[in-house]
Amino acid sequence: MAEQKNKLLKFLGNNIFSEEDKPLEILIKDFFEKHELTLSVAESCTGGNIAHQLTAIPGSSVYFKGGVVSYANEAKENVLHVNPFDIKQHGAVSQQVVEQMAKGVQKIFNTDCSIATSGIAGPSGGTESKPVGTVWIAVCYKEKIKSGKFLFGQNRENNIQRATNTALSMLYELVTNFTKQLQQD
């Protein structure tokens, strides 16, 4: 078994978050509690699903401070302070907008970390350049920000869940790697 485990570890590499049977939300909760970190979310296409998944775990109020569901561009601009020019120039589903959403919600809730999502969940609303399933996700840890564009597919429910899982994975990877880096320095 140890030999097979080592083969899997070598093959999967950084795609393994834990060798225990724990969902990512619990790993995040445990890590954030241990390191006394706080989290906020700004959700558009996920419609509060990230906040729901995190707060379904008892004790999440220790680290999870709140979130904003900013479906409309006016909410992105007026609540999260996204630059209206960037929405007009790049669209709400863009790196520029999602990164501003992440920074905005981090500032509103005064948290160490944040997650932001903006995308086209479907089944309609896509364009040739941004088809249904296009999602931009940004995660912040202090001043460090990481963002990515994803194409999840045509199914609305799957897109919401995939965006949620990807956002949580990105956050966990960012904070654990950054913390490891700090410990090595």
Is the pLDDT reported for residue 1 higher than 80?
no
Mean pLDDT of 146-164: 96
Q: What is the SS3 assignment for 99?
A: helix
DSSP 13: G
pLDDT of amino acid 128:
87
pLDDT of amino acid 183:
62
* Rounded Cα gap, residues 88 and 67, in angstroms: 24
pLDDT of amino acid 177:
86
Shortest CA distance to 63 belongs to which of 92, 16, 88, 31? 31
pLDDT tier for residue 151 given thresholds of 50, 70 and 90: very high
Is the pLDDT reported for residue 15 higher than 60?
no
Q: Which domains does the chain have, with CATH numbers?
A: 39-184 (3.90.950.20)
Is the pLDDT reported for residue 179 higher than 80?
no
State pLDDT tens for residues 68-123.
999 999 999 999 999 999 999 999 999 999 999 999 999 999 999 999 999 999 88
